[in-house]
Amino acid sequence: MKQRSITSFFIVLVVAAVVACKFLPLDIGDYIFDLFVLCITVVASFEMCHLVENCNRRLNKYLSSMYAIFNYIILICCFKFLEFHYILLIQLAGLIVYFIIILITECIKNNSRTFKENIMASLNSILVCFYPGFLFCLFLNINHIDYYAGVDYFSVVFILLVFAITMLSDTFAYLVGRTLKGPKLAPSISPNKTISGSIGGLLGGIAGSMLVYALVYNINSWQTILSMYNLTWWHFLIIGLIGSCVSQIGDLVESKIKRSANIKDSGNILPGHGGMLDRIDAMIFCVCFLYITAFIIII
C-alpha cells in the first residue's frame, strides 16, 4: 500500500509537470507532451506484446512497439496541412500500410514458415499496433487540436479531462469498493471489482469533469472555450459520466486480456501498480471517447 501511494504521488507529479509544460511558449510544451505520450505508448505496447506471446501467439514485438512513432510521423506531416477529420483517415490508412510492412518483414525474416503463419503473426502484431498503439496515440491528436479549434487552451481542457476523469474514477472506485464492498461487478474477469466500486467510479468521473469545468469557468482566458462552443456545466457532467463508463470498460478489457494470458500484471515498471499498460488501460478508452467528443464539438 505504501509503495503504491509513493508511486501514485510521483505519477501525479510527472503528469502535472508535463501538463504545465503546455503553457511554455513556441509550442515547446506540445512537443514535450508528445514525447511523454510516445514513451508511454511504446512501453505499454511492448507489455502488450508480452501478453500476446503468453497466449502462445507469434508476433513481431519490435515493429509492434515502434508503431506509435510511425503514427506520430504521419500526424506531424499532416498537421496544419489537412482538415482535422482527414488526419484520422490517413492515420487509419497508415495502419494498413504498417500491416503490409510487418507482413513483408515477417515473410523475409521467417521464410521457413507458411504464408498463413506469417499472416497470423502480422495480424497479432497489428492488433498490438491498434491496442494500445493507435488508440492511445489519439492523445497526440488531442494535444494538437488547438489549431483546428480556433481557440487557445482547448487541448489543455481535454487533456485535463482525460486525467481528471480517469484518475478520480479509479480513486473513487477503489475507496468506495473497499469501504462498502458488496456484489462483484465481473468476478470471472476481475474478482476484486465490485458494483459499489463501479458506482463510486462514476461519481469520481463526474467529480473530475466538474472540477475541470470549474477551472475553465473561473479562468478568464479559458471562458472563451465555453462561450464559443456553448458548453455548459451539464455538458461536462455528461462527459464525466460517459468518460468514467468507458474508462471502467477499458479496465475490464485489459483484465480480460491478462486473464487470457494468465498474467497478474502487464509489467513491473511502476512499483505497486504493475506495468504501464495496467496504469493506462482505463485511459485508452477515455482518450478515444474524448477525442470523438472534441471532434463533434469543433466540426
Return the pLDDT at 80. Answer: 80
Other CB atoms within 10 A of residue 58 CB: 17
- Residue 190: beta bridge partners? 186
For the stretch 214-238, what's the b/e string if a residue is b when 16 or more beta carbons lie within 10 angstroms of its beta carbon? eebeeeeebeebbeeeebeeebbee
Distance CA 68, CA 139 (A): 11
Q: Which mean pLDDT values do the consecutive 10-residue runs of the chain (299 residues) have?
A: 81 95 91 97 97 94 96 92 90 97 95 92 97 97 93 96 96 92 88 93 98 96 94 97 97 93 90 90 97 93
- For residue 206 the three cell numbers come to 463526474
Return the pLDDT at 241. Answer: 98
Work out whether the CA dihedral 164, 91, 52, 50 comes out positive or negative.
negative
Return the pLDDT at 138. Answer: 97
Other CB atoms within 10 A of residue 99 CB: 18
Question: In the chain, what's the furthest Cα-to-Cα distance?
Answer: 65
Return the pLDDT at 125. Answer: 97
